[in-house]
Amino acid sequence: MPPWLKNAYLDLGEAEIKGARHNPRILEFWQAIGQPIFDDETPYCAAGVGCWLEEAGIASTRSGLARSYGRGWGVKLPGPVLGAIAVKGRAGSKTYGHVTIVAGRTIDGRLACLGANQGDKLQISPYPVTAFSGADDCGFFWPKDYPQPKPGRFADLPVIDAFGNTVKES
């Protein structure tokens, strides 16, 4: 398991605090990427991924924009592999989107992605593989300066539940 995915698992369950208080860990995400954001309401998916990469000693884009990970930061992969940085677009926008990390697959055949700001918290969420297509800066990416993964098949991804536990296929 890549170190940035291990770091993300350590934050599983962290959530926004509604109101005037803010989750200190989410504020640390912004600090880690050098962005002057001091709340946990600003979309923080890219800040989370950036923090986990930086904590693993890997340069992030240091941007709060999810799609920055698909714009020259890493190597685009032909498909999902464990630990891939997964970037999806937002309908009607060439700028905004969502970034998360491939953690496995679900029993019903979707990607299981661990990310920040997924339902206002850090959790594993299911996505169809096709959600990460449609533009050059969308897809699956790997840090340029980290040993490249072996090409894999979707079926090679571990089947996991919402807590990251391995699930046996029937």
User: For residue 153, what pLDDT band results from cuts at 50, 70 and 90?
Assistant: confident
CATH pick for 3-145 out of 2.60.40, 3.40.50, 3.90.1720, 1.10.3470: 3.90.1720
Domain boundaries, the chain: 3-145
pLDDT value at residue 92: 84
* Non-local CB neighbours of 150 within 8 Å, separated by 6+ positions: 81
The pTM (predicted TM-score) of the whole model is 0.96
User: For residue 169, what pLDDT band results from cuts at 50, 70 and 90?
Assistant: confident
| Contact criterion met (CB below 8 Å) for 101 and 85 | yes
Strands, DSSP E only, in 14-138?
Answer: 74-77, 85-90, 93-105, 111-115, 123-127
